Amino acid sequence: MSEGKGGPGKGHRGSSLSIAAALEALRSRLSAVREVESVSLDEAGGRILAAPVVAPADVPAWANSAMDGYALRAQDLAVAREQGLPVSGEVLAGRPFAGRVEAGTCVRIMTGAVMPDGVDTVVIQEDTERRGDRMHLVAGDYERGGNVRPAGEDVRAGARVFAAGRRLRVADVGVLAALGVSPVAVVRRVRVAIFSTGDELRPVGEPLQPGQIHDSNRYTLRGLLKHDRCEIIDLGIVPDDLQATRTALERAAREADLTLSTAGVSVGDADFVKAAVAALGEIEFWGIAIKPGHPLAFGRVGRSWFFGLAGNPVSMMINYLQIVRPALDLLSGTAARDPRRFQVEAGETFSPSMRREEFPRGVLRIDEDGVQRVYRTGRQGSALLSSMSRADCLICLPCRAGEFKRGEPVWVEPLDCI
């Protein structure tokens, strides 16, 4: 797997790991950070639970009405139809009924109001007619317990609601709130040091001299890392210089669990990243059978893991989505997510690569015939970040000899998470 310390890359013919092999290598190497912190529910979304959550109480805590209507005994349903029942009171959400509802009577009840003692069934308002102080049941089929939400229907006290290692989703935070559980113990954020390399790079806000470009990679990378709830240590722009690269790596290694650089990791004359990593630590692999994004390096410096990501903006993002994100999952103590993919019809012809899994940027469309198909977002160069910005999915093309023709199923990976 290793190509030796800082050895020159061989180009992507024959020397590349498959994505699956790279992920397998990462699984065998990376383990979760151990520190745990306590966060309030406001901070909990997207974080990884450090311990299971056990429900301290039933949700809902009390049996309550699922509808606006009248609460009665099931035995009184027939009378309610034949001659109506006197209405002996009213019960609202948050205002429990004082006392017991007498047999042969009913109470007006609103959604979410606690079921009073003595009644077991709710008939919905639309099935009733109010005549003076009596409620007549004029429609509907009812059984005991109808339209009643029993205590613990959603979550039972003592149930294990979430396992350790779960990434908390929006609805999960809502479940924790319903249980009254806050704060929660989560794995501390993964600390990620980032820097861009390249003599041509200028920060946004500075005018460009001839030949210069703005450093867009750090913006997209920071956006991805923020989305993944990492703590970001931004080391800025590093010139194409071995010593400067070493200095940045040394600082990153002191502070970060993971270091990500962009560019300077290919086989050009100004590509110093691999040599710098090899001098301070180790390159474990370089070159992935992925298009775009082949020149990706993995290794470590001191106690920080390291990925040297491709420089081209699209390649860098695809490196992140396919390789770095699963690595972050491993570091943050959650099982690496399977990519979320589904199949749709190809809207046009796609020509996959024989050697590298390819990820053209796509848009999903429901065509006039009602069929969902995927189309490329125009031109696909790895420097054309607008191809990514227009995309709502990646089209996932495995290595194969023949084309995918319009109408053939292809896998897509939605990008709506970024």
229 — alpha (psi -120 to 50), left (phi > 0) or beta?
A: left
Candidates 245, 312, 380, 387; binder of ligand AMP (CB under 6 A) is 312
Cα 403 to Cα 4, 243, 352, 353, 366: the distances in Å are 37, 46, 6, 9, 22
* 3-state secondary structure (DSSP) of residue 405: coil
**Residue 213 touches which of ligand AMP, Mg ion, none (CB < 5 to 8 A by kind)?**
ligand AMP
* Closer residue to Mg ion in complex, CB, 308/360: 308
Size of the site for ligand AMP (CB under 6 A): 17
* 3-state secondary structure (DSSP) of residue 395: strand
The answer to the question of residue 261 lying near ligand AMP (CB under 6 A) is: no
Q: Which stretch binds ligand AMP (CB under 6 A): 174-182, 243-251, 256-264, 323-331?
A: 256-264
Tell me the residue number closest to ligand AMP, measured at CB: 311
**Residue 116 touches which of ligand AMP, Mg ion, none (CB < 5 to 8 A by kind)?**
none
The answer to the question of residue 313 lying near Mg ion (CB under 5 A) is: no
Candidates 137, 225, 263, 278; binder of Mg ion (CB under 5 A) is 263
Angstrom distance (rounded) from CA 347 to CA 360: 13
Angstrom distance (rounded) from CA 151 to CA 157: 10
Site string for ligand AMP, 197-226 (x = CB under 6 A): -x-xx-----------x-xxx---------
The answer to the question of residue 198 lying near Mg ion (CB under 5 A) is: yes
**Which residues lie below 8 Å from residue 44, measured CB to CB, with a gap of 6+?**
168, 173, 176, 182, 183, 184, 186
Are 288 and 16 in contact by the 8 Å Cβ rule? The answer is: yes
Cis omega (within 30 of 0) on the bond before 414? no
* Closer residue to Mg ion in complex, CB, 181/273: 273
**Residue 20 touches which of Mg ion, ligand AMP, none (CB < 5 to 8 A by kind)?**
none
> In terms of Cα–Cα distance, which of 154, 85, 157 is closest to 118?
85
Chain contacts with Mg ion (rule: CB under 5 A): 198, 263-264
Chain contacts with ligand AMP (rule: CB under 6 A): 196, 198, 200-201, 213, 215-217, 262-264, 266, 268, 311-313, 383
